[in-house]
Amino acid sequence: MKRILLKLSGEALSGDKGFGFDEEKACEVASQIKKVADTGIQIGIVIGGGNFWRGRTSGDMGRSQADQIGMLATVMNCIYMSEALRHTGLMTNILTPFECSSFTKLYSRDRAEKYLEAGHVVFFAGGTGHPYFSTDTATALRAIEIGADMILLAKAVDGIYNADPAKDPDAKRYETISLEEVIDKRLQVMDLTASIMCSENHMPMRVFALQEKDSILRAVSGDFNGTTVTA
């Protein structure tokens, strides 16, 4: 495996607080990413914005404006994690689909390719740059564009289940499942648009719980507790 796209939830950075940043958790995630980078694997990262913003706060706010705030939340998260990674000795770059002054660089596939080949961890912040598209869609889009070998989805739950494990004690975890099954059964992995994009472009995934020790490194190696989603 040469190149991966790692998707982190914004909530993963907030730890038990549920909002903002938890420095201890962010440093632990950065340490895991450093271990992966040290194996020579090129890493792109997308981070959600749920630790700061989750949709409209009222019916008076337009969907486009709410989504714009969410895009900016992802930029904040990427700046924060970029600094955490730099403290481990890694070089990083943050790319956005819109101008962000000197905070980030404007995304282009060639620019991303250049940084990845140089061994930099590349953050894809700001979603797709358009409202109505989630960071799941941005994850699928960037993974396909940069030719990632796989998407790693770090979630709060350890894989994909046939029912909500929080509500159904008899829920069973899939060890392996195809993207076609995910789409047909409407399983909550990524949003439907992202799942269809991955299916049509043969982009496999591994879904795992971020809370487990060295979970990112284990997901890369394939020796992990979670679900493999085949393309």
Which domains, from first to last, does the chain contain? 3-230 (3.40.1160.10)
Helix (H, G, I), strand (E, B) or coil at 177: strand
E-strand stretches of 9-82: 42-47
pLDDT in tens, the chain (231 residues): 999 999 999 888 888 877 889 899 999 999 999 999 999 999 999 999 989 988 766 667 899 999 999 999 999 999 999 999 999 999 999 999 999 988 999 999 999 999 999 999 999 999 999 999 999 999 999 999 999 999 999 998 899 999 988 899 999 999 999 999 999 999 989 999 999 999 999 999 999 999 888 999 999 999 999 999 999
Q: What pLDDT is attached to residue 19?
A: 86
Predicted TM-score (pTM) of this structure? 0.94
Q: What pLDDT is attached to residue 58?
A: 61
Q: What pLDDT is attached to residue 16?
A: 80
- Exposed / middle / buried, residue 56 (Cβ in 10 Å: 0-12, 13-18, 19+): middle
Residue whose structure tokens are 């282009």: 108
Helix (H, G, I), strand (E, B) or coil at 152: strand
Nearest partner of 5 among 110, 148, 210, 154, judged by Cα: 148
Name the phi and psi angles at 191, rounded to 5: -70, 165
Read off the tokens for 93: 């770059």
